[in-house]
Amino acid sequence: MNPQNKTKKEIVKMLLKNKSLDNEDENDLMEILFNEPIAIDVDKQAEENETWKDKLADAVTEKCGSWGFIITFVIILILWMVINIVIAELYNGNTFDPYPFILLNLVLSCIAAIQAPIIMMSQNRAAKKDSLRGKNDYKTDLKSELILEELHDQMTKIQSNQYKIIRLLNKEDEEK
């Protein structure tokens, strides 16, 4: 079988499904792995597949998960409450959102209802990237392991040949 007959993908699938490879397939796999890069840039691949919605979700998650957002949001909440309390005292309770700030609670609930799924979408995408990284690491580790096994076998052959050469040289020395 020629290594080009089975693609790298097919052989890796065989390995992932724990199918045993015969010697010919194993040699083909070695040739493919030695001659071709197997690692991919997960971040670059994910970037290429991102839609504008993905980018928007990531931007919202980045902004809403920052200290700047939290501090600004706390300041806005405090201002909302202070303004409503001050207006209530100055105008005998006629404010746009009197205590217990029902409108503020509604706004906060709406923000949370919208923000949570957006953050979860971003986290799901991050989890997919992590999964791709894990698979990529597995393939890279597999290649390294196979290369090390091949190098070990070659070193064993070299060592065996050296012992044979030494024995032949010693035999020649004894004959002289």
Mind listing the pLDDT tens digit for each residue in 49-89? 888 888 888 888 888 888 999 999 999 999 999 888 888 77
pLDDT of residue 145: 81
List the Cα angle 65/112/83 in 5-degree steps.
Answer: 95
Distance, in Å, from the CA atom of 11 to the CA atom of 21, rounded to the nearest integer, reads 9
122, 57 Cβ separation under 8 angstroms: yes
Q: Is the pLDDT of residue 113 over 90?
A: yes
Domain residue ranges of the chain, discontinuous segments joined by +? 37-175
Distance, in Å, from the CA atom of 150 to the CA atom of 154, rounded to the nearest integer, reads 6
Q: Is the pLDDT of residue 40 over 60?
A: yes
Q: What is the DSSP letter of 40?
A: -
| Model confidence pLDDT, tens digit, residues 99-111 | 888 999 999 999 9
Distance, in Å, from the CA atom of 129 to the CA atom of 125, rounded to the nearest integer, reads 6
37: left (phi > 0), else alpha (psi -120 to 50), else beta? beta
Does pTM surpass 0.85?
A: no
Report which of 71, 77, 75, 67 is spatially closest to residue 111, judged by C-alpha positions: 77
Q: Is the pLDDT of residue 45 over 90?
A: no
pLDDT of residue 19: 58
